[in-house]
Amino acid sequence: MHPAVVLGSNANSWIWWAWIPDHQHEIYAYLREHMVLTALSVAYGFVISLPLAVLAARRRAVAAIVVPVVNSIYTIPSVALLGLLLPVTGTGREPAVIALTLYSLAILVRNVLEGLRGVSDDVLDAADGMGYTRWRRLLRVELPLALPAIVAGIRLATVSTIGLVTVTFIVDQGGLGRFIQDGYQRDFHTPLVVGIVLSVALAVVTDLLLVRAERAVTPWRKLSR
């Protein structure tokens, strides 16, 4: 069979099943890239956002700078952010991870800050009265109480990042987004459908796993449910 003939006869059907086993290696590789980009970006975003949010919760002046900056980062479309990075970094993993980290950072700072601000003053007073130092109060009281908001932020950041990874095909990355772009460029539906289905499935499965992790790290919340 001539490949072009096969392609031509199948171009209008949404899925051509034989394509999938033939492209197993690509599927694994792109899925892996998708997960690596997501994990790196959320991890970096988390590590940066935690001290930022703690500082912002303690000092109004820090919050007055951090919050608007973080909000405006989120307003900038990913295509523009990647376009701004590209001349500096070139294509590859670097601009993709930087851009995705900035977005996950934006989500996480808001959520961690919200969680820390939600800790009631009475609890803080009680901890102070018990002689907790600032560090100990932060680690033993504030962060545990903010944990549900923090985990909610991680969930949101992860699912959003999984969606956003597909756009990084612009800088020669993209994970499963490579299939979407490939399907578009060749006007061939199967990779497009495979890319969409796997990307949504990855987001849903990851979210479900994070819900379980959320329950595991906040066992006391079961009592109130």
Residue 37 binds to other proteins (criterion: CB under 8 A): no
Residue with tokens 């949101």: 156
Q: Which residue among 79, 130, 213, 217 contacts other proteins (CB under 8 A)?
A: 79
Residue 3 binds to other proteins (criterion: CB under 8 A): no
Is 41 within 8 Å of 97 (Cβ atoms)?
Answer: yes
- Residue 2's CB is within 10 A of a number of other CB atoms, namely 7
Number of H helices, E strands in the chain: 12, 0
According to CB under 8 A, which residues from 157 to 216 bind other proteins?
Answer: 159-160, 162-164, 166-167, 169-170, 176-177, 180-181, 183-184, 187, 189, 192, 195-196, 199-200, 203-204, 207
Residue 151 binds to other proteins (criterion: CB under 8 A): no
Q: Which is nearer to other proteins, 138 or 177 (CB)?
A: 177
* Interatomic CA distance for residues 153 and 111, integer angstroms: 5
Is 25 within 8 Å of 203 (Cβ atoms)?
Answer: no
Nearest residue to 180 via CA among 7, 190, 161: 190
Q: Which is nearer to other proteins, 141 or 168 (CB)?
A: 168
* Interatomic CA distance for residues 69 and 177, integer angstroms: 28
Question: Least separation, in Å, of the C-beta of 63 and other proteins?
Answer: 12
Q: Which residue among 107, 127, 146, 151 contacts other proteins (CB under 8 A)?
A: 107
Is 221 within 8 Å of 148 (Cβ atoms)?
Answer: yes
Residues of this chain that bind other proteins (CB under 8 A): 72, 74-84, 86-88, 103, 106-107, 110-111, 114, 153, 156, 159-160, 162-164, 166-167, 169-170, 176-177, 180-181, 183-184, 187, 189, 192, 195-196, 199-200, 203-204, 207
